[in-house]
């Protein structure tokens, strides 16, 4: 039988095995889709919306100072005054307790009073909204102090933002590429579970005794999993773009290289796990642990820079970190093939793939030698 005919038959057999493996389908496609939908429903567009906070105003004794401060607060579009007018302190505090408003601002009761009070819920005392409101009120106080002494501001702050892309980016784009990386990684790690069962039943040993070439067997398995990964990246991209409005700016040359290297590296990781797993349950247990660790430590959902400092070095050695960054570079930032950052990540993936494949091959060979003794 020619090599091409062997390849076709082995590829057909591998495809049927994969289609019959429900766990591989779940972890490879349905789980990433479900997870991506959940996170995008929760966070989609939240990073693009302007900060908005609802507050209550207390002005029990109107006076020139309180009127001046109230005018400044009304001019801030990011602050929405509940009921549109001042209320009593008891009412405002009750709203804060019931979390109907983010905070209450108690204005000075007389022209001689030099302070006003920010009332917040104890549970939200360290929250982002509270910190933002505190900063806003501090700015108002500074302006009021300058006005009181007749001084004018000398310096101001001008805000600018830069990005590696010429296009506007949002969290949806970030999450989509992270979920695509996670999906392909899980497809590789969970996809080798069939090798465990084939080895346990002696199918691999019997296959070696036939004229079939093991190299063609491995090639057919690799091609089948690459096609499976293409289905994953297309499905998640379509969902992200047409349902959640993600924007992709793809450099196809960079994407092809990152995709191939990343998919092969995680296939090698799955190959390593299969080399020492005695049962399918053992394989799935190890693969689950590795997958969940990398899922939350590799910048799939949130940037690595937001993690604790002591945890970032761990993230910086995980292969999924560089795979996700490589996909973002090629799918969102439209990074070209000559980028040194892109090639550094590819190099890390190659190292991970080579080490895990060689270690897995050594373990398979070692077990074969032990079995013949």
Residues 62 and 189 in one domain: no
Closest alpha carbon to 174 in 331, 56, 345, 32? 331
Task: Tell me the C-alpha distance between 327 and 246, whole Å.
Answer: 14
Instruction: Quote the domain boundaries for residue 144.
Output: 53-148
pLDDT tens figures, 284-342: 899 989 988 998 899 888 888 878 888 889 999 999 999 999 999 999 888 888 889 89
Ranges in the chain, pLDDT < 70: 1, 17-19, 21-29, 43-51, 148-169, 207-208, 211-215, 217-219, 367-373
Only one residue has tokens 């997870």, namely 35
What pLDDT shows up at residue 319?
96
What pLDDT shows up at residue 96?
87
What pLDDT shows up at residue 48?
47
Closest alpha carbon to 304 in 313, 312, 293, 294? 312
What pLDDT shows up at residue 68?
79
Containing H/E element for 56?
A: strand 53-58
What pLDDT shows up at residue 212?
65
Residues 114 and 98 in one domain: yes
Residues 208 and 300 in one domain: yes
* Residue 271 CB neighbour total at 10 angstroms: 25
Q: What's the structural domain count of the chain? A: 2
Residues 17 and 78 in one domain: no
Whether 154 is covered by a domain: the verdict is no
Whether 264 is covered by a domain: the verdict is yes
């Amino acid at each position: 039988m020619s090599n091409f005919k062997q390849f076709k038959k082995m590829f057909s057999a591998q495809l049927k095995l994969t289609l019959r493996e429900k766990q591989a389908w779940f972890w490879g496609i349905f789980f990433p889709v479900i997870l991506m939908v959940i996170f995008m429903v929760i966070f989609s567009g939240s990073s693009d919306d302007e900060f908005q906070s609802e507050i209550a105003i207390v002005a029990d004794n109107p006076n020139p100072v309180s009127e001046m401060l109230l005018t400044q607060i009304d001019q801030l579009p990011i602050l929405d005054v509940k009921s549109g007018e001042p209320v009593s302190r008891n009412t405002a505090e009750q709203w804060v307790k019931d979390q109907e408003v983010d905070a209450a601002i108690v204005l000075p009761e007389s022209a001689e009073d030099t302070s006003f009070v920010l009332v917040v819920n104890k549970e939200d005392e360290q929250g982002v909204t509270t910190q933002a409101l505190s900063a806003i009120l501090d700015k108002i106080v500074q302006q009021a102090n300058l006005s009181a002494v007749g001084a004018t501001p000398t310096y101001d702050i001008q805000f600018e933002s830069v990005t590696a892309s010429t296009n506007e980016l949002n969290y949806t784009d970030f999450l989509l590429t992270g979920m695509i990386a996670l999906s392909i990684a899980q497809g590789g790690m969970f996809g080798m579970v069939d090798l465990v069962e084939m080895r346990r039943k002696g199918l691999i040993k019997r296959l070696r005794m036939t004229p079939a070439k093991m190299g063609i067997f491995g090639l057919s398995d690799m091609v089948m999993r690459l096609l499976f990964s293409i289905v994953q990246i297309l499905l998640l991209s379509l969902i992200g773009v047409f349902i959640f409005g993600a924007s992709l700016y793809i450099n196809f040359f960079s994407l092809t290289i990152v995709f191939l290297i990343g998919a092969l590296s995680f296939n090698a990781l799955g190959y390593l796990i299969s080399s020492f797993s005695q049962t399918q349950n053992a394989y799935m247990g190890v693969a689950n642990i590795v997958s969940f660790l990398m899922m939350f430590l590799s910048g799939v959902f949130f940037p690595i820079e937001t993690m604790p400092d002591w945890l970032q070095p761990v993230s910086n050695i995980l292969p999924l970190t560089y795979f996700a960054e490589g996909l973002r570079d090629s799918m969102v930032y439209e990074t070209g093939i000559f980028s040194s950052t892109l090639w550094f990540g590819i190099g890390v993936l190659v190292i991970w793939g080579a080490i895990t494949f060689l270690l897995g091959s050594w373990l398979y060979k070692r077990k074969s030698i032990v079995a013949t003794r």
